[in-house]
Amino acid sequence: MSPPPRRAQASTPQEENAQAQQPAPPPASSAEAPVPVVQLEQPGNPGQTGPPITITLQDAVARASRNYAQYLSALTDAKIANEDRVQARAAMLPSLSYTQQYLGTEGNGKLASGRFVTNDGVHVYRVWGVVHQEFPPGFFSFSPYKRAAAAAAIARAKEEIARRGLTVTVTNLYYELLVSQREYATAQQVLDQAQHFFRISQELQRGGEVARSDVIKAQLQFDQQKQAFQEAALAMSKARLDLAVVLSPSLDLNFNLVDDMDQPRALPPFAEVEGMAAHENQDVRAAVEAMKAAQSDVTIARAGFFPTLSIDGVYGIEANALALRAVDASFPELGPVPTPGYFITASLNVPIWNWGATLSKLRQAEYRRQQARVELSQAQRQAISSLYSFYNEAAVSRAEVQGLREAADLAAESLRLTTLRYQAGESTALEVVDAQNVMATARNAYDNGQLRYRMGLATLQTLTGKF
C-alpha cells in the first residue's frame, strides 16, 4: 500500500490550497546565502608571523609547568623546605669564624695599661679563629634535623600532588578545547542540514506537496541552529583562551592541538592500579611525613627540660703588638713573650623555672602529634575510597564510550534516511527536525563521553602516578 499523500497534513483541502498559493517567504533567498556569524574578539599576537605550532597533551603539560602559578608555588615551597633541611644539618655541625680587631685605649700618663681595666695596654690586637658548637634541645636525638627532613619530604609530596593536579587541569582544558572544536563542527554540520531542509521544504511548498507549516518548522529549526552554531563558536573561543592562560606567558593563541580522542589509553587492571597507588599515593606520604615531624616536635619539646651546652674554642693572638712575640705592657721587664695561644669557653645552661612554659610547649607538641595521627588514618581511608571511586568512574566511562559512538553513527544515518524519506513524502517535517536534534545530541554526548574517560584516567593517576 502506498503512503498517504503529504496534503493530508492540512485540516481541509481549502486551507491547504490557500497556504500553497501564498507567495514564497523572504527568508528563502537567505537560506542560500552564507550564514552570518558574530565576529568574536580575540587577543592579538604582535609580531606573530609564523604558522601555528602543533601541541600534544604532553607538550601542553610541559608548557604549563613553566607558567602555572599554583604549581610553581608548590615547587618553590619544596626548594625552600630543602634549604631548611640543609640549614638544620649545618646547625648540628661546628662553625668556624675569623675575627680581627684593634682596640685603641686612651692612656693615663702613669700606667702602661691605659684607662680601661679590661686592656693591658693602650694598643691591643686580636686575631682569632673561633670554633663554635652548640647542643640545643633535641641535639643528641637529631630531632631538629629529622623535623626539617620530614618538612622537606612533605613539601616534595605536595609538589608531586601539585604536578599531578596540574596534569588534571591541563588535561581538562586540552580536551575541553578539542570537544568544543568538535561541537563547533557538529553545529556547523547541523546548521548546513537545517539550511538544506529549509530549502527543500520551500521547494516542496512551491510544488504544492507540503503545507506552509513545514516551512515554518524548517525556518524555526534553521534559526535555532544558527544560535547553536554561534554558541558553539563562543564556547570554542572561551576554551582556547582558558588553555592559553596556562600555556603561554603572553596569552599566545597561535597553536593547534593534536586530536587523539579517538585513541584513548587503556585502563590497567585494578590489581596493577592498586599496587601503584600503595607506593605512589602522595597524600598518604605527606601524612606519614607530617606524623614524623610531629614526633620530632615532641622530642624537641621534651628536651627543653634538660640542660643545654655550648662550647667555643679560640686560637689566635691578643697582644699589645701584632707579632708572634711581643712585650706585655703591664710587665715590660719580662721582655718578649709568645703571643699565639688558645682558650676554651664551655657554657652549661640548666633550666630551673619558667612558669610552666616548657611543659606547655610539650603539651602543644603532643596535641599536634595526636592530630597528625588522626589525619594519617583519615588519609589512608580516603586513599582507599578514592582509589575505588576513581577506578570505577574510569571503567564506567570507558564502557559508555563505545555505546555513545554507535549512537552517534546511528543518529547520523537516521538523519540521512529521514531526510530522504521526507523528500519522498514518507516522513514529516517534525521527524526531520527531531532527527537533526538527535544527531547533534548524540555526537556531543560521544565527545563528552570521551572527555569524561580522559578525565577519569587523569584523576586516577593523581593516586598512582603515570601508568
What is the torsional sign of CA 36, 42, 47, 51?
negative
Residue corresponding to grid cell 578525565: 455
Grid coordinates belonging to 271: 590489581
Q: Which of 95, 61, 149 shows the shortest CA–CA distance to 313?
A: 95
**125, 320 contact by CB (below 8 A):** yes
- DSSP code for 325: E
Q: How far is 233 from 38, CA to CA, in rounded Å? A: 9
The pLDDT tens digits of the residues spanning 4-20 come to 444 333 333 333 333 33
Q: How confident is the model at residue 391 (pLDDT cuts 50, 70, 90)?
A: very high
Residue 355: partners with Cβ closer than 8 Å, 6 or more residues away: none
Determine whether 2 is exposed, middle or buried from the number of CB atoms within 10 Å of its CB (0-12, 13-18, 19+). exposed
Quick: pLDDT tens for 45-74: 655 567 889 999 999 999 999 999 999 999
Please check the confidence at residue 38 and state whether its pLDDT lies above 80.
Answer: no
Cβ-in-10-Å burial (0-12, 13-18, 19+) of 380 comes to middle
Q: Structural domain boundaries of the chain?
A: 52-92+143-306+358-467, 95-138+307-350
Please give the share of the chain, as a percent, with pLDDT higher than 90: 63
Chain centre distance of CA 284 = 19
Q: Tell me, what amino acid is at 357? A: A
Residue 36 CB neighbours (<10 A): 9
Q: Which fold has domain 52-92+143-306+358-467?
A: Outer membrane efflux proteins (OEP) (1.20.1600)
Contact 187, 226 (CB under 8 A): no
CA distances from 130 to 133, 230, 315 (A): 10, 77, 7
Separation between Cα atoms, residue 210 and residue 207, nearest integer Å: 8
The residues, ordered by sequence, that sit 6+ positions from 69 with a Cβ below 8 Å of its Cβ are none
User: How many other CB atoms are there within 10 angstroms of residue 404's CB atom?
Assistant: 20
Q: What pTM did the predictor assign? A: 0.79
pLDDT at 49: 60
Q: Which residue do the cell numbers 607530617 mark? A: 290
Residue 33: per-residue pLDDT: 55
95-138+307-350 CATH fold: Outer membrane efflux proteins (OEP) (2.20.200)
DSSP class of residue 25 equals: P
pLDDT in tens, 406-427: 999 999 999 999 989 988 888 8
In degrees and rounded to multiples of 5, residue 252 shows phi and psi of -80, 125
322-379 pLDDT, tens per residue?
889 988 777 788 888 898 999 999 999 999 999 999 999 999 999 999 999 999 999 9
Residue showing cell 491547504: 16
Of 119-128, 180-189, 282-291, minimum mean pLDDT range: 119-128
Residue carrying the nine cell digits 570507558: 398
Cell of 429: 517535517
Query: Closest Cα to residue 316, out of 168, 12, 98, 138?
Result: 98
- Cα(73)–Cα(158) distance, integer angstroms: 10
Give the whole-angstrom CA distance, residue 164 versus residue 161.
5
Secondary structure of residue 156 in the 3-state scheme: helix
- Provide, rounded to the nearest whole percent, the portion of the chain with pLDDT above 70: 90
DSSP string, 32-70: HSPPP-PPPP----TT--SPPEEE-HHHHHHHHTTT-HH
Which CA distances in Å does 59 have to 99, 257, 462? Answer: 55, 10, 19
Rg (CA), the chain: 41
**Which own/partner pairs from 372-376 qualify as long-range (CB within 8 Å, at least 24 positions apart)?**
372/287, 372/290, 372/291, 372/293, 372/294, 373/291, 373/294, 375/287, 375/290, 376/284, 376/287, 376/288, 376/290, 376/291
C-alpha cell at 219: 525556518
Order of all β-strands in the sheet with 123-135: 95-104, 123-135, 308-319, 341-349
Determine the pLDDT at residue 48. 58
User: Residues 174-184: what's their mean pLDDT?
Assistant: 96
Place of cell 582509589: 387
CA distances from 450 to 251, 341, 413 (A): 27, 80, 21
